[in-house]
Amino acid sequence: MENHTNTVKCGVTDCAHYNENRCVANHITIGGENATTADATRCETFVNSGNMVNSCGCSAKGGETTIHCEAKECTHNRDCHCMLSDIDVACSCASCDCGSTEQTFCSSFKL
């Protein structure tokens, strides 16, 4: 299958891949193989930035991203790739300073 690219809107401000409400990683993985709700997914690519600022070695603008999706029940998943052109990654904590992968999720998930 040809790689499908997406734009990833991101609200996880303490991720090293975050830049101006976009994910700047070239490739991300959405976990949650048995997810039936968005809250059961997670961004496996999350890296707590701590004191780092865009130090991941990614593209600086947050352009197109390839998404490997393990959420097999999501309607947008085709052969482990997300078919949406734009997705949203968010955090389940009030401050969006997540601290761990488990506090992130794909809010574009749909059964």
- 32-80 pLDDT, tens digit each: 999 999 999 999 999 988 745 444 444 445 567 899 999 999 999 999 9
Reduce the DSSP state of residue 105 to 3 states and report it: strand
Q: Residue 105 has what pLDDT?
A: 94
Structure pTM?
0.84
Q: Which residues of 47-67 are buried (b: 16+ CB within 10 A; e: fewer)?
A: bebeeeeeebebbeebeebbb
Confidence class of residue 28 from pLDDT cuts 50, 70 and 90? very high
